[in-house]
Amino acid sequence: MPSNNPVFGRGFGNAQQSSWGAAPAQQQYGAPAYTDPYAAPSPYAATTTRYMTMDDVVTKTGLSFLVTVLAAAATWAMPGQAAWGLALPAVLIAFVLGLVIAFKQIANPAATLAYGALYGVALGAISEAFNDVYPGIVMQALIGTFGVFAGMLVVYKTGAIRVTPKLTRWVIGALVGALVLSLANFVAYFFMDDGLGLRSGGPLAIGFSLLMIGIAAFMLLLDFDMADEAIRRGAPAKFAWYIAFGLLVTVVWLYMEILRLLSYFRE
């Protein structure tokens, strides 16, 4: 069964190949086949491969979030406007690193934790700026993000919404459409003051933010399903770092959209 999550799809395929091994080489024609019964591995020998468990996913994901939060708190604590001097470079480096992790299928603690730390620096500066203008908004956004995450986890575990190929196509299609609209809105800023109005704070902007939050919430379902699928297929333990990366991407996006939506209502 192929992966439902586009971030994990290729990486999970590679993890399967490395976990279960490549196809055996074909024997040359004419060469006699000899079987040494003493050279075969013992069925009672312990395997050296440790497969991924849910504890691995929870531990790695929790550690990634902890690094992100600590980096954000340290950035927020910087005096004056020092945080903004680090925010833009951190976002650019994190963006490039995220693309490398996604397309190179890197399941590595250093890569995932570095990504979390870099985005933590950016989130710390952005959150401080929002909180200066709208006091208390960051705590509200954190509570909202945690609520959506917990709610979607309950929905997934109870089977209220099942991740099917049809649902996956709908979610991915909505995600692509939303990204195209965001890009078009960005380009429109060069010609109009408010662009297409998707981020201007008006009713259209509120509706668009609600749409983005909904897509991010359903992306969490795909992330949860990917973790279960990887465990069922016996992915190696280190693949949990790749899953942690995907969850971190989704949760950071969800937090930013909730923060933006709350700012519209404050205005």
* Residues 68 and 117 sit within 8 Å (Cβ to Cβ): yes
Residues facing 215 on adjacent strands:
none
Helices (H), 77-164: 82-104, 109-133, 137-158
d(CA 119, CA 245): 12
* Residues 220 and 155 sit within 8 Å (Cβ to Cβ): no
More confident residue, 30 or 197: 197
Residue 25 scores a pLDDT above 50: no
Residue 33 scores a pLDDT above 90: no
- AA letter at 26: Q
Q: What is the pLDDT of residue 40?
A: 44
Residue 44 scores a pLDDT above 50: no
Q: What is the pLDDT of residue 87?
A: 85
Q: What is the pLDDT of residue 242?
A: 93
Q: What is the pLDDT of residue 106?
A: 87
Q: What is the pLDDT of residues 170-216, one digit of tens each?
A: 999 999 999 998 899 888 888 887 778 888 888 898 999 999 999 99
Confidence of residue 48 (pLDDT cuts 50, 70, 90): low
Nearest to 256 by CA among 216, 204, 197: 216
Q: Look up the pTM and report it.
A: 0.79
Q: What is the pLDDT of residue 104?
A: 86
Q: Return the structure tokens found at 193.
A: 């003051």
Q: What is the pLDDT of residue 68?
A: 95
Residue 7 scores a pLDDT above 60: no
Q: What is the pLDDT of residue 18?
A: 42
Helices (H), the chain: 9-20, 54-76, 82-104, 109-133, 137-158, 165-188, 203-232, 239-266
Q: Mean pLDDT, to the nearest integer, of 149-164?
A: 92
Mapping DSSP to helix (H, G, I), strand (E, B) and coil, where does residue 38 land? coil
Report residue 23: phi and psi, to 5°: -65, 145
Tokens 């933590």, located at residue: 120
Confidence of residue 37 (pLDDT cuts 50, 70, 90): very low
d(CA 66, CA 227): 20
d(CA 140, CA 111): 30
Q: What is the pLDDT of residue 38?
A: 37
Q: What is the pLDDT of residues 165-182, one digit of tens each?
A: 999 999 999 999 999 988
Nearest to 220 by CA among 200, 249, 259, 187: 249
Q: What is the pLDDT of residue 35?
A: 45
Q: What single-letter DSSP state applies at residue 192?
A: S
Q: Name the percent of the chain lying above pLDDT 90.
A: 51
Confidence of residue 22 (pLDDT cuts 50, 70, 90): very low
d(CA 81, CA 28): 69
* Residues 123 and 155 sit within 8 Å (Cβ to Cβ): no
Confidence of residue 83 (pLDDT cuts 50, 70, 90): confident
Q: What is the pLDDT of residues 93-124, one digit of tens each?
A: 999 999 999 888 888 899 999 999 999 999 99
The structural domains of the chain, with segments of one domain joined by +, span 50-266
Q: Which long-range contacts (CB under 8 A, 24 or more apart) does 177-182 make?
A: 178/208, 178/211, 178/212, 178/215, 181/208
Q: Name the percent of the chain lying above pLDDT 70.
A: 82
Report residue 51: phi and psi, to 5°: -90, 155
